Amino acid sequence: MPMTTTAAQRFQALLSRGARMGPRAMPRSGPTIYKFGAGNPDPGSFPYQELVQAMADVMELDGAHALSYGSAHGYDGLRDLVVEKYRLLEGLQTSRDNILIANGSNQAIALVVGAFVDEGDPVICEAPTYMASIQTLRRHGADLIGIEVDGEGMRTDLVAERLGELKRSGRQCKLIYTIAQFQNPAGPTLSERRRRELVELAREHNVMILEDDAYGELRYEGQAPPSIFSLDPDGLVCRTGTLSKILGPGVRIGWVVAPPALVPYLSAFNFGGGVAPLTSRVCTFYLRAHLQPHVAELVDIYRAKRDAMLDELERGLADTDASWSRPEGGFFIWLKLPSRTDLQRLSQLAAAAGVGYNPGPIFMANGGGEEYIRLAYSFEAPAEIREGTRLLCRAIKGARTTA
């Protein structure tokens, strides 16, 4: 390709509104030894050989379908498995017609956003919230309104206020995006009282709710409140889920649970060829026999990791005014740094110690968050979690300004 730099930039003038936002922002991290940044599952937990066996079974029993175009709504066997999962783990009654398979949870979220959000539409989300969803919503033109999160989850009193303001100014909020279980990154689980309030608000203001539930199966203690989806009598809630945390992100399988009439509208934004006919079957064949024991095993693995990190934070930072979440499940701890922490200095010291983390501001739709960092305890083994957390605590203390 003979091409000059100038020539290569000719496309710039032609980019769409969404593309003019630029390439996707990625949290930068240098080479780290202790990877507490991204929410990566533990590769030690992946069922490698069992998936090879599942692949062999799929090829023998259903190979032609696995390698051909699939249905726009995904492989029915997997849709049925998702239905069964909700029945087993939550007693939630859904049917195949509620389930749309997607290429992972992020794409599931993007399908819902694509179906509802036009340029400039107000969308309510938590502040902080999952950084990839901020980008997905923005790329679709959403005007994001971040709502404070406290120990009971998103503050529904503030949601009511914002919806009232929007109504008075003649603007239609399209979507309330919430991570109700082990809120990512802040940690709390939205209380049942607030879930009911949220459904009531959606009903009153005619707004869709998008309930992002990527970690719900991985609860280490306590009892889950009913899902927002299960509380909605009006077909105004879509819920997303994924195999990324309970099997492996590399299979790229997620789904939307939605009112059946909405499913074909969502799938229209998944352009062509059906969704993952091969990996859908491989995962389904494996999970049919192993779902509950595998999830039970993962709960033990990740609970021990969470406890290791909480323990070391307690040892390392108890004598400071730092505070942090104690999530009942999921992969993350949200740490409020001690007052008078020099953020630049912390970043240098942590990098020097080889400790990676995600800085708070990337989780904030409307700015702020500098005094927070998110720590993922999911990827490293417990010994490395302890060692890395000790080093991080030392870096945090070393970054305190004397002023």
Q: Which of residues 195-234 bind a copy of itself (CB under 8 A)?
A: 206-208, 230, 232-234
Nearer Cβ to a copy of itself (225/249) = 249
Q: Mark residue 243 as left, alpha or beta (left: phi above 0; alpha: psi -120 to 50; beta: remaining).
A: alpha
Instruction: For residue 66, state whether it binds a copy of itself (rule: CB under 8 A).
Output: yes
Q: Which of 388, 386, 377, 397 is nearest to 38 (CA)?
A: 377
Nearer Cβ to a copy of itself (202/396) = 202
Nearer Cβ to a copy of itself (174/316) = 174
Non-local CB neighbours of 190 within 8 Å, separated by 6+ positions: 152, 153, 154, 178, 180, 181, 183, 198, 225, 228
CB of 77 to a copy of itself, least distance (A): 14
* CA atoms within a 13 Å half-sphere pointing along the CA-CB vector of 133: 33
* CA–CA dist 45, 22 (Å, integer): 36
Question: Residues 123, 132, 159, 393: which binds a copy of itself (CB under 8 A)?
Answer: 132
Nearer Cβ to a copy of itself (17/326) = 17
* CA–CA dist 373, 362 (Å, integer): 10
CB of 106 to a copy of itself, least distance (A): 2
Instruction: For residue 271, state whether it binds a copy of itself (rule: CB under 8 A).
Output: yes
- Kindly state the helix (H) or strand (E) to which residue 387 belongs, with its residue range: helix 382-398
Binding span for a copy of itself by CB under 8 A among 41-49, 161-169, 356-364, 380-388: 41-49
Q: Which of 285, 236, 241 is nearest to 82 (CA)?
A: 241
Instruction: For residue 27, state whether it binds a copy of itself (rule: CB under 8 A).
Output: no
Question: Residues 105, 183, 184, 325: which binds a copy of itself (CB under 8 A)?
Answer: 105
- Kindly state the helix (H) or strand (E) to which residue 241 belongs, with its residue range: strand 237-242
Nearer Cβ to a copy of itself (47/361) = 47
Instruction: For residue 48, state whether it binds a copy of itself (rule: CB under 8 A).
Output: yes
Binding span for a copy of itself by CB under 8 A among 129-137, 182-190, 296-304, 332-340: 129-137
* CA–CA dist 191, 51 (Å, integer): 37
Task: Tell me, residue by residue from 339 to 378, as one string, x for binding to a copy of itself by CB under 8 A and - for no binding.
Answer: ----------------------------------------
Q: Which of 105, 46, 51 is nearest to 285 (CA)?
A: 51
